[in-house]
Amino acid sequence: KTKPVGVIRGVYDAGHRCFGENYVQELIDKAPQLPEDIEWHFIGNLQSNKAKALLG
């Protein structure tokens, strides 16, 4: 969580496929830059006004 895309990609290349993120906007920004087979976990409280963005 809160790690740059380059760090996540390095860990992905080492074989990890499950990652977590605390902030909706960071997840929305990072996910398209990374492989689709990553299993994302949202950690923390989700405000109702951001739920649609996270699921969309």
| pTM (global) more than 0.85 | no
Q: What is the pLDDT of residue 15?
A: 98
pLDDT tens, position by position, 5-54: 999 999 999 999 999 999 999 999 999 999 999 999 988 888 888 888 88
Phi, psi of 24 (to 5 degrees): -55, -50
pLDDT for the residue 50: 84
Q: pLDDT-based confidence at 3, cuts 50/70/90?
A: very high
pLDDT band for position 2 (cuts 50, 70, 90): confident
